[in-house]
Chain A
Amino acid sequence: MNNAYQIVVCGGIVPDPLQTLEPVTGPAGPALKNEMMLPAVLDPWASHALYEAAHLARQAPGTKVFLVSLAPKAKLQQVLMTVGQKAPFELVALDGPAGGFTEPFETAAALADAIRAIPGLDPARLLVFGGWESACRGAGATLQMLGERLGIVDQFQGVDELQLGADGAFTILERIDGGKHQVSLCAGPPAVLGWATGNLPEPKNNPQVGMANMRAIMPALQKAKPAPLPAEGVVFASVTLPKQQRATRIVKDQSPETIAAEIVSWIRQ
């Protein structure tokens, strides 16, 4: 039985979550203030997808992992300096905007073209991975659209676990409403899996993996096709920051007993 997969992990880049974000209106619609200056990271849930792909590749010899990323290529290069040390992969880069105000429909179209163009890709062994929601758009829509474009109708979202069975079938755990997991049995590839956190810790940086990856990353970045994503048909009427500040009352010199009583009475109100 052929147990080797071709795992394509789709992941964009997002501003580091510790950064303060402020919306501005640019010529092409809303954007972030100083967007190009903000330090970026690989989208967190897509990172988990990458770690899970590397883990599955170790279990299924012959498996190949690709990272397909649509982002401004100069920023992507910076992010890959660290991400490249986490897991072995081959990069397919698309040069385009990475922000939250882009259109999943257009992103999916660009990703589908890039995936179809991967030399030697076997659609029957294909697993499309990604994060179940991005940290920018937070829509959870791109992977499904991509799957449709690739003709894949076995799709899972909010995945926390994929177990490989002896017969090549997968047992998949997906997050569902109310803090539960739905368990499904899928006959095998092709499939689309939008990962949530999964179960794996973030791998330590491995400089050897980084060096091996880097040799191919630089040429892949040079070859990156432009993917402009014009967000056709969308008009943003407003983008606003919420009123964040509350007038915090700081209680310092009360006994735990008094505070407990205050909290209990607040809970009961």
Chain B
Amino acid sequence: METILLLVSTETDGSLAVPAFEAAGAAASLAAALPGSQFLAGLVGATVQPGADQIAACGASRFLAVSGPDFESSRYVSDAAAAEALTREARATIVVAPATSRWNRCLPGVAQRVNGRVDTHVTGVSVTGGGIGVSRWYYRQRMEAVLQRATRPWFLLTDPGSQPPWQGTPGTATVHPLTVTLPPGGARTRVTGVKEPAADAQTIRPDAGLLFVAGAGWTKKQADGQTHVPEAEQLIREFLKLTRASLGSSKSLVDLGGEGQAVLSFLTHLNQVGQTGSTPRHPKGLSTCCHGEEPHTVGWRFIGERRAISLDPNCGWARGKADVLYVTDAFAVLRHANALLQKTNTFGLLVSPR
């Protein structure tokens, strides 16, 4: 019989973010599909009561927590100590947590401590014939496997956006606090802050309805034999401002920056989509001036509708990777699109969030 522990961390105000509700949904469904299983929740953060109250009705029979100032920031030493204590106290055989950077960093190490096993980037959890099956992708989203494990505890980190969130009315949870002390001498690592672009320069928007991808073509010589990088930058910036789309890039485009060539100033490696970049989740994606090679398009695995603009009718997008390929000049299309958006964009936000 399984004992399922939902493990979530709270935000600075003590509440839970969307990925935590998604993990709660997965844990609750798993508990429901395994008659006789036990279901507990474990919370970690500076304060936890608001978060526990948000999921008071999720079906967990006990709410355990490790809280206090030492557990506010996302840091291996404190998060691992907290998660280990919660796992042991719950006698968990299955631990479900969201695959956020915080839990991805520490839970594999916790699995090691308790002699368990871990699967990260889980995109599906199912029960067939009483056995738990977990879906995840291999070779950078190129093939999907369903696997089962005999070893317990088994840690499952569910990818944000892959699970329906638990929905229910908040209540009042009785939280059982655990005392966890950090190693003697305290932590040798201190989180000092977060580095992010200014709000108006932030181009990565995980909740955006549209992913806009810029490829290296924006920096290449155009029909007149010249490059037009400043105009490309201005067109893309304008388009992002008008649509609130999230900006992705091909590797070639971001790499050009490292080689000292003129590229779009607001791009970094964080924008890179693909094999050695990210695999974002958005309902729609628009690729521009990008060839659609396999190492790039594997990063589009979780993009719903896909359209591309490229001068090359034989590019990768044409070969079944996009729903629509527009063979034309992206500069001209964006000029017209921006004008159109500006003219009709009286209400600001056009792209409906997920």
Chain A residues proximal to chain B, CB less than 8 Å = 14-15, 17-18, 20-21, 23, 30, 32, 44-45, 100-101, 103-105, 108, 135-145, 147-149, 153-158, 160, 171, 173-188, 196-197, 199-201, 232-242, 244-252, 254, 256-257, 259-261, 263-264, 266-268
Is the Cβ of B144 less than 8 Å from the Cβ of A240? Answer: yes
Distance A160 CA – B271 CA, assembled complex (angstroms): 13
Measured CA separation A177–B306 after assembly (Å):
24
Could you list 5 further interchain pairs (A-B, Cβ under 8 angstroms) beyond the known A160-B269, A177-B100, A264-B344?
Answer: A138-B138, A171-B192, A177-B160, A197-B272, A260-B333
Does B112 lie within 8 Å of A148, measured CB to CB? yes
Query: Which of chain A's residues have a CB closer than 8 A to the CB of B120?
Result: 139-141
- Mark interface residues in B67-83 (1 if CB within 8 Å of A CB, else 0): 00000001111001000
A177 CA to B284 CA, complexed, in Å: 20
Q: Which residues of A contact B1 (CB under 8 A)?
A: none
Give Cα A259–Cα B323 distance, bound, in whole angstroms.
14
Q: Chain B's interface: helix, strand, loop or mixed, by majority?
A: mixed
- B102 — which chain A residues lie within 8 A by C-beta? 176
Q: Closest chain A residue to B117 by CB distance? A: A105
For the complex of A and B, the 4 pairs showing the least CB-CB separation, nearest first, are A179-B204, A260-B336, A256-B332, A141-B108
Is the Cβ of A145 less than 8 Å from the Cβ of B101?
A: no
Task: Decide if B309 is an interface residue (CB 8 Å cutoff).
Answer: yes
B180 at interface by CB-CB < 8 Å:
no
B104, CB-defined interface residue at 8 Å: yes
User: What is the interface of chain B, defined by CB distance below 8 A to chain A?
Assistant: 19, 74-77, 80, 100-102, 104-109, 111-113, 117-121, 133, 137-151, 160, 183, 188-197, 202-206, 209-210, 243, 255, 258-259, 269-272, 275-276, 284, 286, 293-295, 301, 305-307, 309, 313, 317-329, 332-337, 339-341, 344, 350-351
B240 to chain A, nearest CB (A): 12
Known A154-B77, A176-B74, A185-B190: A235·B148 in contact at CB below 8 Å = yes
Q: B203: which A residues are within 8 A, CB to CB?
A: 179
Within 8 Å by CB of B139, from A138, A179, A247, lies A138
Let me know if B76 and A256 touch, CB within 8 A: no
Residues of B within 8 A of A135 (CB): 139-140, 275-276
B121 touches A138 (CB 8 A): yes
Chain A residue, CB-CB nearest to B104? A140
CB distance from B111 to the nearest CB of A (A): 7
Given contacts A141-B118, A183-B194, contact A259 B328 (CB under 8 A): yes
Knowing A104-B108, A154-B188, A185-B189 are in contact, say whether A176-B149 is a contact too (CB < 8 A).
Answer: no
A83 to chain B, nearest CB (A): 16
Select from chain A the residue with minimum beta-carbon distance to B274: A17
CB-defined contacts of B194 to chain A, threshold 8 Å: 176, 180-183
In the complex, the chain A residue whose C-beta lies closest to that of B142 is A21
- Measured in the bound complex, the distance between the Cα atoms of B317 and A188 in whole Å is 47
Q: CB distance A250 to B313 under 8 Å?
A: yes
Chain A residue contacts of B147, Cβ below 8 A: 234-237
A136-B139 in contact (CB<8A): yes
Contacts of A176 in B (CB 8 A): 74, 101-102, 194
Complex Cα distance, B109 from A233, in Å, reads 19
Question: Which residues of chain B are near A143, meaning CB under 8 Å?
Answer: 108
A257 CB to nearest B CB, Å? 5
Name 13 interchain pairs, CB-CB below 8 A, sorted by A. A17-B295, A18-B295, A144-B76, A145-B108, A148-B113, A154-B188, A201-B255, A234-B150, A238-B146, A244-B320, A259-B309, A260-B335, A263-B333
**Minimum Cβ distance to chain A for residue B145 (Å):** 4
Question: Contacts A248-B318, A250-B318, A251-B324 given: A201-B340 contact, CB under 8 Å?
Answer: no
The reply to whether B138 and A182 form a contact with Cβ atoms under 8 Å apart is: no
